Amino acid sequence: MEYIDTALVLFFLALLAGLVDSIAGGGGLITLPALLWTGLGPVAALATNKAQGVFGTFSASANFVRRGAIDLRRAAFAVACTFVGAAAGTLAVRHLARLIPFLLIAFAVYFLFSPRVSDLDSHRRIGEDAFALTIGAGVGFYDGFFGPGTGTLFAAAYVALLGYNLRRATAHTKLLNFTSNLASLLFFLPGGHPVWALALPMAAGQLLGAWAGSHLVLRHGARLVRPVLVAASLAVSIKLLLDQSGT
């Protein structure tokens, strides 16, 4: 009975995380502490978090692809670079983690005040190949070794550098986030780190939450995504700064 109670709690927390994450990122702030609460060690918790997160980002990505919000051919190189970056990051240490809260605060201000953050595409500043090699590989690397705020970093880059509208940026963010989660999971699997008894009920919640969240993004666009992105950016920043001050 204790396992069933734990599984139900994790299911509903993952459902909430999938909903929030598919809109603005930051779902890991809900799921990772929940897994640590069950008594898992840090490595097992990170691996299990990646395992359940794959399902949520896949669900959102599949819905965005089905609705025509993602051009898979144009995104293919960014997907490949993100996969390589995340695989490398999973094997690395967290040297850059202390910079992330300040980047996210800057992005929150950008999302709040920039006229580029809207439902309309704007002028691009770099080519898609350059974006794939820098943002895809770089943010993928970060997600592989740490992770919080990955969705916000991708979304900000799509808006600021490629000129995507917020709905389109969010859709492509989920595709790259799915890629980085999958790459990390593949490197955790040989060591047997994911705890599937906990990951599977969470995966079910992620599938439902992310599907619902992606529909909300497609329906409401920047009117919904902008405030949630600002809130998620600030929440992740505060959490990371508090963690750093305690170390």
In this predicted structure, the answer to whether residue 93 has a pLDDT above a threshold of 50 is no
Sequence ranges of the domains in the chain: 2-245
pLDDT for res 48: 92
pTM to 2 decimal places: 0.79
Q: How far apart are CA 134 and CA 193, in angstroms?
A: 30
Two structure tokens written together for 217: 């993004």
Tens of pLDDT, residue by residue over 134-161, are: 999 988 988 887 676 788 888 888 988 8
Tens of pLDDT, residue by residue over 2-41, are: 888 889 999 999 998 888 888 777 777 778 778 888 888 8
Selected residue with higher pLDDT from 193 and 123:
193
Selected residue with higher pLDDT from 40 and 230:
40
Selected residue with higher pLDDT from 221 and 136:
136
Q: How far apart are CA 156 and CA 166, in angstroms?
A: 9
SS3 110: helix
Two structure tokens written together for 240: 């990371």
